[in-house]
Amino acid sequence: MDAFEHLLNGFSVATQPINLAYVFLGCLLGTVIGVLPGIGPAAAIALLLPITYGIEPTSSLIMLCGIYYGAMYGGSTTSILINTPGESSSVMTALDGYAMARSGRAGAALAISAIASFVAGTASVVLLSLLAVPLAGFALKFGPAEYFTLMLFAMTSVAALTGPSLAKGLLSMFLGLMFATIGIDLQSGQQRFTFDMPELQDGIGFIVVVVGLFAIAEVFSGLEDLVKGRSEIIRMSGSLWLTRDEWRRSVMPIVRGTGIGFFKGVLPGAGATIATILSYSVERMLSRDKAKFGTGMIEGVAGPEAANNASTGGAMVPLLTLGVPGSGSTAVLLAAFIMYGLQPGPLLFEKRPDLVWGLIASMYIGNLVLLILNLPLVGVFVRLLYIPIGLLLPMVVSISAIGIFAVNGNIFELYVALGFGVIGYVFRKLAIPVAPLVLALVLGGMMEQSFRQAMTISGADPGVFVRSTICIALLSASALALSIPFIAPLLRRFAPGPATA
Amino acid sequence: MPDARPVAGFPMNAPSRPVPGRLPAVLLLVATLVTAAAYLRATLALPHPELADPLGPQIFPILVSGGLFLCALLMVVDLWRTRDGRTPVLIEGNAPFDLRSTMMVAGITAWTGLYFFVFERVGFLLSTVVFLLGLMSVFNAGHRLTNLCTAAGFTVGAWLLFTRVLSVRLPQGVLPF
């Protein structure tokens, strides 16, 4: 069966009335949460996980994916109207989007953001559909050593490429691995670092960490910002329709942004943020009005927004075909899969094609739903920004408490989440990225098992990690990723002219 | 635009003392070293089962603690490279640490910790209304009725949604329902 037939079967699953309802609900909730300042896709998925309990896994994952790309859509609204990106991938949108809003073109900025997101999101799902089968087939060649090096590559790239310092990225990654070792060792049955606390025997719950790091930490930062009076909301103004000139100027940035976003999304670590930076830099480089970037150029919104949303489709490629997420948000999605007893990867394509292809097909529908929701209803979503932060953020804490308590009914996990909230706040203050920690926490257990299985098979010979071409390629890629923070400043020194963006 | 000005009770015209630039980086280095050493010590104290796999449960944590020491080394290099202050050690995510913000976050943490402490004992409904009302009174000061209605409305709405619609169990506490 080829990809097209699989996709048709997927559409038969995704177009069932109940699944259509979950696509709609996921997109709506994702957009609403994405619009709320500071709450990004990872926190959105983690916070809304409790409402999926009791729902059939396919429908539930369809909804969670809708929340994921809905939140990516919604994040641009806060960038444009209050200059507060929901997450780092919306930072570039804020540069020209906020400037457009200040000059009375908020409607046009929001419209091009929705259109670029729709085009790029749909194109990236087409590419995902085409790449899924060959990549899943290739992934069947992976043994424990290959999986270990793949996870090492995913983690080191995220650690090296997110945040301003390699040391901080690696610190976040190793702390995540450290937390992942808490609990009962699966191979020996030995308790590790549990301090005789039965609550820690199963390890630290992933949802607990994500809610703490993303949602509770955001409450701390948001209330601090409120106290310091940083936020200024620009009221939506100007027509939602673009002028002929704006259309003409937006087409090619959307096309280029889609290509950049998808391929960067596929690579672990590079992800949406770097894709948007690259897209913005390319548009600025190609423009005849370089100096006007940052003052409200529509190309500076169209390109990064396309790159941002194309990367969501790209990020689903390694998650679904290899079972390895490349970002904090997809790591949360992986946790959701695991919560339902599903392990994404090549075997899932064989065992549950209905689920995988139903999910992929739902993304086509989801992108359309988001366009329909975002263009005419953007004015309604914008009203959410006028909810006083002092009312909104305390409610986020309560929703977090419900979400965590609903998993195991365990109060201890609430304290752990609060602790991770404090860690997340301190990380923000020290510019330590949290994505490597999240990724390492979710992959740490699998990584350790792969490492020990490979070593056991090889009779404790570390040479097993350089025996296959795949391993050598992945180790080389990891080394390259780790060397980028050292090489990039040298390259910048020799580059002609001022740095872009 | 309610968010455009500082909230009542937290006037920003009072002087705020940011922590000196390199101090957080030095403290982070020390914390990393302490964490790495404590983790290594705890790892080495783990018993090694005789009949388990040849590597045992210690090998991976040992590698992780080695990684933490490597991070500390990289931080020392960062500090050394920026000793003349040319390159900033910290690119702050939001704002530098300052005493007022730290105290405020400590206060919210304590209040949230108290909420979690009584969450099961008192029950979701009562604890959540009081928790929300407490925070809203500080961060949305001067809107007593709005705060009360929002806290009560949100709590009851969430309770109905999760317990009645989604069948999620929430602590009953002292209330009979």
**B104/A411 Cβ within 8 A:** no
Whether B77 has its CB under 8 Å from any CB of chain A: the answer is yes
Mean pLDDT of chain B: 81
Which of A50, A389, A414 is facing B3, going by the closest CB pair? A389
Whether B173 has its CB under 8 Å from any CB of chain A: the answer is no
pLDDT score of A157: 85
Q: Would you call A282 helix, strand, or coil by DSSP?
A: helix
Q: Has residue A452 been placed in a domain? A: yes
| Total domain count, chain A | 1
Which of B12, B35, B50, B108 to probe the A interface (max A CBs under 10 A)?
A: B108
Per the structure, the complete domain to which residue A315 belongs is given by 3-491
* Digit-coded pLDDT (tens) for B56-102: 888 899 999 999 999 999 999 888 887 766 554 444 444 567 788 88
Residue A4 near residue A43, CB atoms below 8 Å: no
Q: Would you call A230 helix, strand, or coil by DSSP?
A: coil
Residues of B numbered 40-59 whose beta carbons fall under 8 angstroms of chain A's beta carbons: which are they?
42, 46-47, 49, 52-57, 59
**A394/B132 Cβ within 8 A:** yes
pLDDT score of A148: 92
pLDDT score of A501: 38
Q: Has residue A457 been placed in a domain? A: yes
Whether B3 has its CB under 8 Å from any CB of chain A: the answer is yes
Can you state the percent helix, strand and coil of chain A, rounding each to 5? 75, 0, 20
pLDDT score of A479: 92
Residue B161 reports pLDDT greater than 70: yes
Measured over the CA atoms of residue A36, residue A40, residue A43 and residue A48, the dihedral's sign is positive
Amino acid at A60: S
Under DSSP, the state recorded for A183 is: E
DSSP string, B100-120: HHHHHHHHHHHHHHHHHHHHH
**B67/A418 Cβ within 8 A:** no
Per-residue H/E/C for A285-352 = HHCCCHHHCCCCCCHHHHHHHHHHHHHHHHHHHHHHHHCCCCCHHHHHHHHHHHHCCCCCCHHHHHHC
Which of B46, B50, B58, B60 to probe the A interface (max A CBs under 10 A)?
A: B60
Amino acid at B96: P
Nearest 5 degrees, angle CA A235-CA A114-CA A278?
105
Question: For residue A191, what are the β-bridge partners?
Answer: A184
Instruction: Give A34's contacts (C-beta < 8 A, 6+ positions apart).
Output: A40, A41, A44, A70, A71, A72, A73, A74, A75, A77, A78, A86
Residue A413 near residue A199, CB atoms below 8 Å: yes
Which of A51, A178, A219, A273 to probe the B interface (max B CBs under 10 A)?
A: A178
**B116/A223 Cβ within 8 A:** no
Residue of chain B minimizing CA distance to A389:
B3
Residue B152 reports pLDDT greater than 90: yes
Which of B65, B100, B136 is facing A394, going by the closest CB pair? B136
pLDDT score of B133: 95
Q: Has residue A423 been placed in a domain? A: yes
Q: How many CB atoms lie within 10 A of CB B16?
A: 13
Best CA proximity match to A150, nearest among A275, A267, A265 = A267
Using alpha carbons only, how large is chain B's radius of gyration in Å?
A: 24
State the Cα–Cα distance between residues A129 and A106, nearest whole angstrom.
Answer: 34
- Mean pLDDT per block of 10 residues along chain A (501 residues) reads 82 94 92 76 80 84 90 81 72 86 84 90 90 83 89 87 82 94 86 88 86 88 79 59 86 94 78 82 87 88 92 87 82 85 86 90 92 80 80 90 86 94 91 87 89 87 90 92 80 57 38
Q: Which CA distances in Å does A454 have to A150, A338, A462, B129?
A: 13, 23, 9, 53
pLDDT score of B85: 60
ipTM exceeds 0.95? no
pLDDT score of A496: 55
Whether A389 has its CB under 8 Å from any CB of chain B: the answer is yes
Whether A226 has its CB under 8 Å from any CB of chain B: the answer is yes
Residue A64 near residue A48, CB atoms below 8 Å: yes
**B71/A224 Cβ within 8 A:** no
Residue B3: band (very low, low, confident or very high) from pLDDT cuts 50, 70, 90: very low
Question: For residue A183, what are the β-bridge partners?
Answer: A192
Can you state the percent helix, strand and coil of chain B, rounding each to 5? 60, 0, 35
Q: Has residue A500 been placed in a domain? A: no
pLDDT score of A499: 43
Q: Has residue A171 been placed in a domain? A: yes
Residue A441 near residue A204, CB atoms below 8 Å: yes
Q: Would you call B161 helix, strand, or coil by DSSP?
A: helix
Q: Has residue A501 been placed in a domain? A: no
* Digit-coded pLDDT (tens) for B111-140: 999 999 999 999 999 999 999 999 999 999
Residues of B numbered 85-114 whose beta carbons fall under 8 angstroms of chain A's beta carbons: which are they?
90-97, 100-101, 104-105, 108-109, 112-113
**B52/A190 Cβ within 8 A:** yes
Q: How many CB atoms lie within 10 A of CB A196?
A: 7
Residue B142: band (very low, low, confident or very high) from pLDDT cuts 50, 70, 90: confident
CA A151 to chain centre: 17
Best CA proximity match to A176, nearest among A412, A406, A447 = A447
- Helix intervals (H) in A140-216: 144-161, 166-180, 206-210
Residue of chain B minimizing CA distance to A408:
B169
